[in-house]
Amino acid sequence: MKKLKTIEEKVKAVLTAHEEARDDDMKLYLYVCSNCQPKVGTMPFERVMKEYRLLGIPPFESIRRTRQKLQADCPELAGNLRVRQLRATQEQIYREYAGVPIERQE
């Protein structure tokens, strides 16, 4: 649990400092990775992917899920309207694909 809190702190700091990272998970990931390992931007992609644990970089999916949770809890950190709508559409498409019931708000 402590590790997740640390990831949450890093993701929140990036979302606060870099508005463009709110709309683009790859930019968010690069900023978080750079905060964990400042030289990551100059390393070959293959090395970063193979050695992410050794470099102290959190998994991409952990960062994405943390971003999603933070944006749900803190609307001021949410992306722009177009991106929010696109993400909602993609979530609905995935839920249908995965056979997950879609929650209806009344």
The predicted-structure confidence for 88-101, as pLDDT tens digits, reads as follows: 888 888 888 888 77
What pLDDT does residue 96 have?
Answer: 87
Q: Is residue 104 part of a domain?
A: no
Instruction: Please check whether residue 76 lies inside any domain of the structure.
Output: yes
pLDDT at 48: 94
> What domain count does the chain have?
1
- CA-closest candidate to residue 34, choices 5, 10, 68, 67: 10
Q: Quick one: pLDDT at residue 27? A: 96
Q: How far apart are CA 41 and CA 74, in angstroms?
A: 29
Q: Determine which helix (DSSP H) or strand (DSSP E) holds 49, and give its type and residue range.
A: helix 45-50
Q: Is residue 35 part of a domain?
A: yes
Q: What is the pLDDT at residue 21? A: 97
Residue 72 forms part of a structural domain: yes
Q: What is the predicted pLDDT for the residue at 2?
A: 62
| Tens-place pLDDT, residues 22-45 | 999 999 999 999 999 999 989 999
Domain that holds residue 53: 2-98
Q: Is residue 86 one of the residues assigned to a domain? A: yes
pLDDT digits (tens, 9 = 90+) for 40-75: 989 999 999 999 999 999 999 999 999 999 999 999
Inside any domain, residue 53: yes
Q: What is the pLDDT of residue 67?
A: 96
Confidence at residue 28, expressed as pLDDT on a 0 to 100 scale: 97
Q: Which two tokens stand for residue 81?
A: 């309207």
Within a domain: 103 = no
> Of 59 and 104, which is predicted with more confidence?
59
Q: Would residue 105 count as lying in a domain?
A: no
